[in-house]
Structure 1
């Protein structure tokens, strides 16, 4: 993963000053904002924080608004019927040395991806001080507000209240009529409301609420939380399929955004049941918190059932079953190819992270181990996607081939996050730290840091050892950090039985112990913990039970 990040690292003089970030892969020349939001989860522990900050500030500097005529930019004009200017608050899909602005009109997640990237830097280093920083005369937070408002005002269906985009597979940028000449700018044949767009917008609203609260703007924080609650409720009403236990990929809507020609709903209706398609965006809904605990359990089961039915040895199956041949005009969108049912390690990492975060660590570890085995066959490269032949079927042991770009950094970001934050449960932020390891009965150790420009910085380390002796079970967990503020500690227990003793730094943990079930995991919550060096010991003494 570190090899991929370093290979894709790119720095250039931008409109906002020096910019450093990461290209998505070696087939891409620019830094993409959406990918940066996922890469940041790993990059923040490997590179100085300017590799997060400067990409966001450059994108905000190039943001479309009434005062951008003074900018030295090169706008790539979309094809009709898309307007030549997308409107105040819209953001470019890319940032690059030539200061070009590309608005991928088919997508509706670029602005909320920018919010996600900004939130990553806000948490790791920027804080409220950075949110008050001026970008072209406007605070960072207020420019993020403009970006969110663009989505809420220009991409919301008035009837359902859901975020809409033209008919892609879900998260992709290939529309039904896309001819492959200029991806992301095909004329829409029908508009849809997808589970992917609802999940990432819901997450953006929650993150904007947190940042508003950090600024002391309680009213705006409450407004964003209410909007998130409303979007969640509307999403469940329109997209949740109670009988099947997952969110439908999307629904077709009969309206189009202001300024766009009307499209007829039957233009996008198919002679097959789209509700049978299981989208990996369900995992994003889980990770974002859009799915409740009961729904999460059902989604985890459905995603695994779809993976097995597809014959994929890996998580991250983008869609199953795929859209039939001929559904999309673009030849690359045949069943099992590219965004139509291929396997993406990028989304596998997100799915695995969701499984760990919501208490399904056995599933998360099994899927993580499968990716590890796959990456060992190409240790110096991470692929963009893997074709999944629609007739592959269950039980096929032949490894999947690789396709698309090499050194795919977004996959490095999400899988890296699944290891660091998912499996080991390590999280360092500007204001605190958290240790929530989900190793269970496994031994392991990990160390992360938030590097300063001089290569030093705050660090957080964790190690766990499981021993069995004469029928008894011993868990020893060690935490060490130089963070100046208190943190939080909870740990997945290796047994579903209550320990006979638990101590921290040699002192018995006061009763009653906070042991609870999260998903399928048994978690012991220690709670607030001071920085420094700590040792937790838990014992399951077989003799004490007799």
Structure 2
């Protein structure tokens, strides 16, 4: 008997009873799908809790606490870790905040660094750490706002907003972080924020053999991921702060304009997808590449989370993702993009076709897609998408950073981002389908 079958037989009768009295009205077929998958999901959920309890770095091979990763396992961290430790890690990001409001990617204990040649910088407020920023990204500030929101929602501890760092409150520093995006990463022409050209949500630009820092060769571009992350951050900021009516109106107006301009400039109505990039100073790719045909799975998911698509568009996006999975011979909707960028378009050798962020399969985003399907009550689709992700965690006895199209695990073998998004999706499924 296979792993899934053995687990299901142990728990199926109990879970059938729970579905019958659950909060969501499910069809018989949908109920069977949930009934079959949830015992397996429960095993993975416990695995995730054990991993997250062991630390806050992204995973083995990483010395840093990264904000884009921490944001995605904050919910489970608040369940299994000491609240004071979580709070300390969050406050450390503010201790490294730059005078312009910018937030770093991650920090690592001194003096050894991580063995990676980042341009480290230091803070007198946290002398035990060295920090760095991948400047090609435009999601560090929004990830921190979202992480604080998750911390508050999970713990009920709003007092962190009044903690003082460098003579300013955390709430003030959050507002300054969002202002950084409007002052230093904003295109007046399009009314949207920009970053370097990357593959979807990635952190590698094509112009250099490593590609993590903006320089004279960078091609600045607007994409859906960065802007959707900003919309979510504003939603969160207005949700957990007590601000004046004037400030609330200001940020509500910023959000409204972002949403309008996203649909105006980034949504391709004829193809029913987001365009990969709007370039501000030309494209780094050859004219022979039809980039407009590339579908960005991760950015689309974050757009769904930001409320930028209707339920019908969400369903259509999911079906397109599954169509891409089939065409790529991939394993799950965590497939980053399809079709992929051809060999040689990225100088970083790790960005070849179907590798890393260029068509690698990342549960780190696929799991978030599942959460959104659940939020829109697309339960059969959520089960279909979630099952192969759960099965490979059990098969590999752990959470890996990403997978090849033939489902071979790659990167960190204890990737907390994958564990975090699966835990969140499973918890959402349980809440939706049972009392």
TM-score scaled by structure 1? Answer: 0.65
1:57 aligns with 2:91: yes
Selected match of 1:222 from 226, 243, 249: 249
Separation of aligned partners in 1, 2:368 and 2:344 = 29
Once the two structures are TM-superposed, the CA of residue 290 in structure 1 deviates from its matched residue by 2.1
Once the two structures are TM-superposed, the CA of residue 226 in structure 1 deviates from its matched residue by 1.7
Selected match of 2:239 from 207, 210, 216: 210
- Please give the secondary structure, in 2, of the residue aligned with 1:90: coil
1:336 aligns with 2:351: no
Residue by residue over 1:511-546, the C-alpha shift from the partner in whole angstroms, topping out at 9 and shown as x without a partner, is xxxxxxxxxxxxxxxxxxxxxxxxxxxxxxxxxxxx
Selected match of 1:324 from 342, 352, 365: 342
The corresponding residue for 1:72 is none
Residue by residue over 1:336-388, the C-alpha shift from the partner in whole angstroms, topping out at 9 and shown as x without a partner, is 00010110011111111111112211111111111111222112x21101122
- Please give the secondary structure, in 2, of the residue aligned with 1:419: helix
Tell me if the contact between 1:178 and 1:186 (Cα under 8 Å) persists in the aligned partners.
no
Once the two structures are TM-superposed, the CA of residue 194 in structure 1 deviates from its matched residue by 0.7
Residue by residue over 1:396-453, the C-alpha shift from the partner in whole angstroms, topping out at 9 and shown as x without a partner, is xxx51111111010000001100002x112xxxxxxxxxxx1x3xxxxxxxxxxxxxx
- Please give the secondary structure, in 2, of the residue aligned with 1:424: helix
Residue by residue over 1:27-78, the C-alpha shift from the partner in whole angstroms, topping out at 9 and shown as x without a partner, is 101111110000112222222323432221110011112xxxxxxxxxxxxx
Change (3 A) 1:8 1:357: closer
Separation of aligned partners in 1, 2:109 and 2:52 = 15
- How large is the RMSD of aligned CA atoms in angstroms? 1.9
Selected match of 1:93 from 95, 105, 115: 105
Change (3 A) 1:89 1:296: same
The corresponding residue for 1:348 is 366
Separation of aligned partners in 2, 1:46 and 1:169 = 33
- Name the structure where strand makes up a greater proportion of residues: 1
Tell me if the contact between 2:340 and 2:354 (Cα under 8 Å) persists in the aligned partners.
yes
Gaps of 5+ in 2: 1-44, 111-128
1:259-408 to 2 correspondences below 5 Å: 265-268=282-285, 270-280=287-297, 281-379=299-397, 381-388=398-405, 399-408=406-415
Once the two structures are TM-superposed, the CA of residue 189 in structure 1 deviates from its matched residue by 2.9
- Please give the secondary structure, in 1, of the residue aligned with 2:72: helix
- Please give the secondary structure, in 2, of the residue aligned with 1:303: helix
Selected match of 1:108 from 109, 127, 138: 138
1:421-432 to 2 correspondences below 5 Å: 421=428, 423-425=429-431
Separation of aligned partners in 2, 1:269 and 1:146 = 38
The corresponding residue for 2:30 is none
The corresponding residue for 1:179 is 209
Separation of aligned partners in 2, 1:284 and 1:175 = 20
- Please give the secondary structure, in 2, of the residue aligned with 1:131: helix
The corresponding residue for 1:460 is none
Change (3 A) 1:187 1:408: farther
Separation of aligned partners in 1, 2:217 and 2:85 = 35
1:40-189 to 2 correspondences below 5 Å: 40-65=74-99, 88-98=100-110, 99-180=129-210, 183-184=212-213, 187-189=216-218
Tell me if the contact between 1:106 and 1:186 (Cα under 8 Å) persists in the aligned partners.
no
Once the two structures are TM-superposed, the CA of residue 217 in structure 1 deviates from its matched residue by 2.5
> Would you say how many aligned residue pairs link Structure 1 and Structure 2?
372
Separation of aligned partners in 2, 1:307 and 1:406 = 23
Once the two structures are TM-superposed, the CA of residue 224 in structure 1 deviates from its matched residue by 1.4
Once the two structures are TM-superposed, the CA of residue 126 in structure 1 deviates from its matched residue by 4.9
- Please give the secondary structure, in 2, of the residue aligned with 1:29: coil
Once the two structures are TM-superposed, the CA of residue 219 in structure 1 deviates from its matched residue by 2.4
Once the two structures are TM-superposed, the CA of residue 9 in structure 1 deviates from its matched residue by 5.6
Once the two structures are TM-superposed, the CA of residue 7 in structure 1 deviates from its matched residue by 4.9
Change (3 A) 1:63 1:216: closer
- Please give the secondary structure, in 2, of the residue aligned with 1:151: helix
Separation of aligned partners in 1, 2:290 and 2:414 = 36
Tell me if the contact between 2:142 and 2:230 (Cα under 8 Å) persists in the aligned partners.
yes
- Name the structure where helix makes up a greater proportion of residues: 2
Change (3 A) 1:198 1:412: same
- Please give the secondary structure, in 1, of the residue aligned with 2:279: strand
1:190 aligns with 2:219: yes
TM-score scaled by structure 2? Answer: 0.81
1:414 aligns with 2:426: no
Tell me if the contact between 2:49 and 2:80 (Cα under 8 Å) persists in the aligned partners.
no
Once the two structures are TM-superposed, the CA of residue 188 in structure 1 deviates from its matched residue by 4.0
